[in-house]
Amino acid sequence: MAEAGAAPPRPGEVALGFDPAARADAGVVFIGRVESPHRPGDCPRNLTEARARGGGAVLWLDPAWRAGLAGIEAGQAVVVLYWMAGARRDLIVQAPRHRDRPAGVFALRSPARPNPLALAVVRVVAVEAAAGRVAIDAIDCWNGTPLVDLKPWFAGIDVPPNT
């Protein structure tokens, strides 16, 4: 079921007959928020576009989670997981404007998905652990987006073989 006010599906799109949030199997705890220069209607579609725009962003961790920043350093690459709170959750087939035909949600990087998790591999610019502040080079989400997790990125682990 589409969120109230959600645009109707485009030709070729298929919506589920239920709200995926109503079938929750687990809980997610937000650890903070993303402070970005982006607003609805003016958000980059991906990290490449976000980096081209410049400006960076800040990840703000809530006090309970700040000790978890120990070991994170400027210059390091990290994986940021964030919750695209305003995204539709009921589209299982989408018709993106940049593709010539519809595709399943799992073949796309669209924020509209059963669990609107997004990920970005970003570069840490600065860390102030006591304040819960992690400055990063770029992000492709709205200001105030809930932060789910941070993980270090390792080339030897996170790059598929033969790429």
Residue 25 domain flag: no
For residue 161, give both structure tokens: 């073989």
Q: How far is CA 74 from CA 38, 140, 147, in A?
A: 23, 20, 19
pLDDT tens-digit readout, 91-125? 999 998 888 999 999 999 999 999 999 999 999 99
18 located within any domain: no
In a domain, 70, yes or no: yes
CATH number at residue 65: 2.40.30.70
0.85 surpassed by pTM: yes
Q: What is the pLDDT of residue 2?
A: 58
Q: Is residue 122 part of a domain?
A: yes
Q: Are 124 and 74 in contact (CB under 8 A)?
A: yes
Largest Cα–Cα distance in the chain?
50
Number of domains in the chain: 1
Q: Answer yes or no: is 8 within a domain.
A: no
163 within domain boundaries:
no
In a domain, 110, yes or no: yes
Which residue has tokens 């997004």? 118
Secondary structure (3-state) at 70: coil
* Model confidence at 4: pLDDT above 70: no
How does the average pLDDT of the chain come out, rounded?
92
Alpha helix locations (H) across the chain?
47-53, 155-158
pLDDT tens for each residue of 131-151: 999 999 999 999 999 999 999
Q: Please say whether the beta carbons of 61 and 78 come within 8 A.
A: no
Instruction: Report which residue type is found at 82.
Output: Y
Domain of residue 43, residue span = 30-155
Find all residues with CB under 8 Å of 148, minimum gap 6, and list them. 28, 30, 31, 81, 82, 83, 117
Is there a domain that residue 17 lies in?
no
